[in-house]
Structure 1
């Protein structure tokens, strides 16, 4: 990667200063310290999702022991914490490693173009002071997440524009919203709705979660006994790693049970739900999902706060489709009518890849969604670009780290053997024989709506979707990086 170095601004440009970008920067400093890099961040601070989302109660939907970085394990007592604490943790981690000095804030990448003549990427950037900044790099790492930061998912809700009260989308929660003693209806049943309900119920008159179909909601202790014992018995260095290992194994075990024994998993989850609801509550129709556990992401509520709000009478769940929204009510197909002061549309995220950056290769527009993903990290026909994706059934950070370690391994070989370009290529035989698979194996509505924004995956290596952490990490460190990859000097 040394050739034409005088013409480059950086060896590697990282886009995004969230979990993925900060983690990759650490791995790059650890394993490829000779490479010059910078991070371009469109926002004013470190944090990504945890900087953008500011709705009441915003928190992780994965345990912090696996959501935290492997190189700076989470040492707090609580497994699920408020988003502001996560953002501060990411910032402190970056500061500890000097990564914060490499970040250029308020630098939004609008486009990136590859030239095979110079074997470089040119990124076009808009900043707060200059509209046209151009930076050149040999390699690009996209830690841009999986959803659109500028535009939320606009669900089709009949009559929503006629409502005279406030309509709020959680992605852009107004800081001055006064919901004290107001009647609130949250439309949706995913992690955001389940987080919002107990938070809003504290000060509002009443909160109703209006859903088309139920979701599995598991209660998780904020502070576990195992973690408390290990933390007291062992030094922090050892205890934090043992606790993290426990949670990685626990997550793998739970997903495996749900996938292989769905009836048993469903029965156990519903038995637990029944115990947390007010006595005598019928699970049908509000708490029995129509799908098996982990066909959609399992939602968590710390210390059962979601169910506590229902038991208190401050919150309720209603399962029905919306017939129409009038200026002052929500009419349901069941014949019932709700009269909220505020409607919150927690209907999911608008999915996108590469942060909506316009990409071109040798002057030709390049659409990631039309191509197959190599090792769930690169995309066929896209030179010297790694995209970071996490897991849908485990912590995002685990997937981001296996991708980062794979990227560093690729960079190490490029430098060692004098390669300037790596680009995944699919053979004609591959195209004829492979069977396409969804990039995300989830049946959630927002995934069905926007899933075609992701690259394609297939049934055979190296075009398979993500598997599970241990396997993906083994592939990243020692797996085949020749098949499906073209190495060019």
Structure 2
């Protein structure tokens, strides 16, 4: 790899590989490289190794727009998703552009040179690269540590304590009593996956989560592939699923009682007669205030119905040598405790951004179209939807970056920067989402604005119009040649 590239991508996960594919396919004359902090392709899907790890989004929307998902299961397991990402990288030759073990720590922009100087750490030593455009695809959570609350007495526990983000490869839970603390997507996945071998698995939650059962296979998608072929079936299925997920989300926001009733009826049908659904499966919040959890083919409900798993809704008082004591006075015996207690967010992988000698603090910036930062030139990042598949947004951001780079080429510009000149704009949190992992860290992220183009959209159809077809030179994104090239009258759009 050369010391300078046109586009430097940070992260070789789902977003980073997709970004590289878009740039390579649309702009083959552009040079690019990917810096990956870990030693493998895959990001999230290589990091998480806990039993049953899977997506809670269907693969017809979590998959790339340019690469159809062809397997029968739409709700796919982690290893299948990882193969899909790696196959995409290998077949397109993207893997040859990746530098593994390079953790980016700092990126400095020079307007005079219209260039980023990026510092990464490799084998404990600093490595420097230069790039005309910096594209951060590192996700939004910390890879080195998950969130574990303080539990009194945890040091006394004589069993095995595990956080799902750091799953031991040699953990044997056969015949063991397992307690999973948490009720989010990770816990809902782990409990039925461990129930087949463990003596019993208990999901211990402070409060319930909305959980809906969905078929692991999409019969319409599978039938369409047989009838019209993969290439024609994929976009039809993709838009079908986008429409369905949008309908569910809108119904949840506008008619929450209707959605609550539907989810409750689904749980009643799958749980044993007389099960206390009000206590264990009726959340205090409205549907989609937090992400709706999915149980493929109702696997969690099946495990409960078969007596292999149970749900306890209570608060932890303290750990003991043999388990946990609860506020109700009950005690849970445990050989293994899984703390599925959430993620820790991290903006831009913890990279310190500097523009012309001034350090950029993310909360002091505003996110333009949910993918660029005010006052930060030639920079883009990917944050996916909270109410739909991550890749739907990642694909659109990549398409927009391609359009932006073409716009710079066409007009002879070297740099572009979003500029907030709207005095009536008010600040809002970047993510309007009530999940605990978001609320704990959202103040460390850029702000959103009260109106476009400073709002992070959560509608795929709307974003298709804005990012795929909307104007690049919208009066907010300022483009120009670097001063040394044309100091007298800088061209601007």
TM-score, length of structure 1 as denominator length: 0.95
Partner residue, 2:484: none
Partner residue, 2:303: 309
Partner residue, 2:236: 242
Matched, 1:453 2:444: yes
User: For structure 1, which segment, 45-54 or 473-482, has the greater mean C-alpha deviation from structure 2 after superposition?
Assistant: 473-482
Q: In the aligned structure 1, how far is the partner of 2:152 from the partner of 2:431?
A: 29
Q: In the aligned structure 2, how far is the partner of 1:375 from the partner of 1:243?
A: 27
User: For structure 1, which segment, 158-167 or 295-304, has the greater mean C-alpha deviation from structure 2 after superposition?
Assistant: 158-167
The partner residue of 2:268 within 242, 267, 274 is 274
Partner residue, 1:116: 111
Partner residue, 2:433: 442
Partner residue, 2:477: 485
Q: In the aligned structure 1, how far is the partner of 2:5 from the partner of 2:373?
A: 22
Secondary structure of 2:410's match?
A: helix
How many pairs does the alignment contain? 479
Q: In the aligned structure 2, how far is the partner of 1:426 from the partner of 1:239?
A: 42
Deviation for aligned residue 1:8: 6.2
Deviation for aligned residue 1:443: 1.1
The partner residue of 2:458 within 462, 467, 474 is 467
Q: In the aligned structure 1, how far is the partner of 2:272 from the partner of 2:248?
A: 26
Q: In the aligned structure 2, how far is the partner of 1:478 from the partner of 1:8?
A: 34
Partner residue, 2:294: 300
Matched, 1:367 2:358: no
Mind listing any 5+ residue stretches in structure 1 that lack a counterpart? 1-6
The partner residue of 1:88 within 74, 83, 86 is 83
Deviation for aligned residue 1:456: 0.5
Q: In the aligned structure 1, how far is the partner of 2:303 from the partner of 2:444?
A: 37
Secondary structure of 1:433's match?
A: coil
Partner residue, 1:64: 59
Secondary structure of 1:462's match?
A: coil
Q: In the aligned structure 2, how far is the partner of 1:446 from the partner of 1:158?
A: 21
Contact 1:39 1:102 in 2 (8 A): yes
Q: In the aligned structure 1, how far is the partner of 2:149 from the partner of 2:419?
A: 37
Q: In the aligned structure 1, how far is the partner of 2:202 from the partner of 2:441?
A: 27
Matched, 1:433 2:424: yes
Partner residue, 2:490: none
Q: In the aligned structure 1, how far is the partner of 2:411 from the partner of 2:3?
A: 20
Contact 1:462 1:483 in 2 (8 A): no
Matched, 1:53 2:48: yes
Matched, 1:199 2:193: yes
Matched, 1:331 2:325: yes
User: For structure 1, which segment, 346-355 or 332-341, has the greater mean C-alpha deviation from structure 2 after superposition?
Assistant: 332-341
Q: In the aligned structure 2, how far is the partner of 1:368 from the partner of 1:159?
A: 37
The Cα RMSD (Å) is 1.4
Contact 2:5 2:132 in 1 (8 A): yes
The partner residue of 2:417 within 423, 428, 436 is 423
Q: In the aligned structure 1, how far is the partner of 2:475 from the partner of 2:369?
A: 10
User: For structure 1, which segment, 159-168 or 67-76, has the greater mean C-alpha deviation from structure 2 after superposition?
Assistant: 159-168
Deviation for aligned residue 1:87: 0.5
Q: In the aligned structure 2, how far is the partner of 1:299 from the partner of 1:357?
A: 31
Contact 2:369 2:456 in 1 (8 A): yes
Contact 2:68 2:230 in 1 (8 A): no
Contact 1:73 1:244 in 2 (8 A): no
